[in-house]
Structure 1
Amino acid sequence: MKPQHGIAVVLLLGLVATAAAGGGIPTLPHQFSGDVTIGGSPAPAGTVITAKIGDTEYGSIRTTEAGKYGDPGQSVGDRLLVKATPDQAGETITFLVDGVAAKETGVFAVGGGTVLDLSVPGNGGTGNTGGTGNTGGSGGTGGTGSTGGTGGTSTTGNPGESAASTAAPEVQTGHASLATSAAGVVQRTVTVRTADETCAVAIREGTTARDGNGNPLDEVTVARADPAAVPAAPPGTGVAIILNCGPAGATFDPPVTLTYSLSGEEWAKVGGATPKVLWYNPVSKAWQDVPATVDPATRMVTAEVSHFSIYALAWTVPETTAALEAQQTNTSPGGTPPAGDEPPWLFIGIGAVLLIGAMIGGLVYLGKKN
């Protein structure tokens, strides 16, 4: 094999490996929140809730308020996120409360959102929480009362959830119809992803979705935009991905979840900086920050947005890097010199003409002298 052929093979293998490492469809996590009790009493703040499928852990959260975990009204980072894979949809999720298995279980759905109350027995059993135990008087401390409590709680756990909450949400590419009530309330969770499957927007059941005129929203679109076709990012800001979410002006209450999934190449381009999400405000004609959650392990950035617009996944370029790039641009061969540094071609031309004239005059003079 010729050396150049070997180099080509190595480059080809490198491209294939890079594509394999940088690919992948972003998987929206299943979000859980609700009340949590230990022995019938609110679990104290600092309790750790862990979600597992089989023997593998797929998410955990530490409570910040007694008796509650997660909060559907807050940002996505304040909920228990179960980050499984699409092929695990429909599998059972078990929950541990400070290492103790809860009576309730869930069913994994990509992009799902479920309010699920969790309970575990205390040191003295669960008789006090049982319906039969409280009715039976002494049942609260007896074994029968404990069994009755367990049965009452577990029977109303998962069956109490709506079918739409546990069913896999509808996933569309580029465009999706939205089923809403007359009041604009979304009837079924819908996820809309980009054509290259790297970014997605999840609109959950129960969200109030309206268009710019306040009417119930009946469709949504999500597409990657050409950076050259949108307003330039602020100085010192690098841009990896720009999304155009439509229709512009649509509003959501509570906010919908916007997810970016970076390839290995895009993540390397960020160069160690922390990615952030910006949205373009057409009124102020300026880019504004959006709170976001960054997961370096999966190269995913998640933000919650209450309206549709143009959203950019960006990062702040270090001043030294920006200055170096500007210097390289100004001094590179064939590059455009900075303003005010243009060579004085007119004076150089005049000087050359005078020099040539002087040389010719000198030659004529010497010829006449000889």
Structure 2
Amino acid sequence: MKSRTAITVLIVMMAALVGSAAAANETPIVPQEFSGTVTINGNPAPAGTVIEASIAGTLYGTLTTDTKGVYGGVEKNDDRLVVKGGGDVIGRTITFTLNGNKAAQTAVFKPGKLGNLALSAKTGSTSGGGGGGGGGGSEPAPVKTVAPSVESPASPIVGSTNLTTSDEGIVDEPVAVVSSDRIATLTVPEGTAAHASNGTPLPEITIRPALSYEVPETGGMTGFAFAGYAYLCGPAGATFDPAITLTFALPAEKWKNLKGDEFTVQWYNADTGRWEEVPTTVDYENMTVTAEVSHFSTFGLFTSAPTDDGDHPAAQVTDQTGEDTPGGEGADLTIPIIVIVLVMIALVGAGIYMKKKKE
């Protein structure tokens, strides 16, 4: 009887140990962090701009900028926009405001992810919705960010088109030009100041798909994956004020195969040898991605890079700071190993006891 009691006590202790170990090893939900450029009405936002991040009307993060036109940074000690949420908001849409004006961009809440996001807003664009408790209730409809309508010709010219401008370089008539594959379209509204790299009025604009060897290196980028579309917009160095639009109209089958909720357009900075984000909006109904382009260069379409286990970003091993995040290879496996060993010892002991009882 005493041996049976001892075995029972051992089993109870093992169960308590397993429960404690599981609780201790439970991965906490870490914040998601953002940094990047920030513009209001097409101009760099001044220092002191208040950026707020909300999910379903509830504020989950805020940051006041200390540098004109940028927020956060990629260094370990930089102050970034930190979005802190619980498990009930994982995968839901984050909306942003700049000094109370709704930003054109959105993001999906993925704990542990560190990303670069260019934010832009126009004054007078309110965020809509109020405060309220987080979590609970039904899932709201996905937020749709629609590119602004721009007056343009009904049938864009293919490849290149001339610009009619004043002596100061102000466009007199709106024009549009589409790439030969009918994917990317440049639209220049009337009243745009368009200048060549030497400051003279811009006589024409061109766009064409980049050949494979013309696409700058995209490997090694953190958090982004090249979507397979890159275009050379020319003449190189041309500038526009306000920014014109570059719209990607993807075929339905391509759209389904890509992560449409996380599209971003980037331009290649030859001086730094890096791709950099530009303000991007997404029209889910028409399956288009539109970027605000203030100068000409090589532009590419990107999506967020997939994590090891698909859409669950907690499986990320290393972020841009080089530090391990929970759930990756850096997770502490000491407690699970101890539990397994103790369970095996208990099973062996129980087997010996039963064998002696039969004898």
TM bucket normalised to smaller: 0.3 to 0.5
After TM superposition, the score normalised by the length of structure 2 is 0.43
Structure number with larger C-alpha Rg: 1
After TM superposition, the score normalised by the length of structure 1 is 0.42
Larger RCO (CA under 8 A, 6+ residues apart) = 2
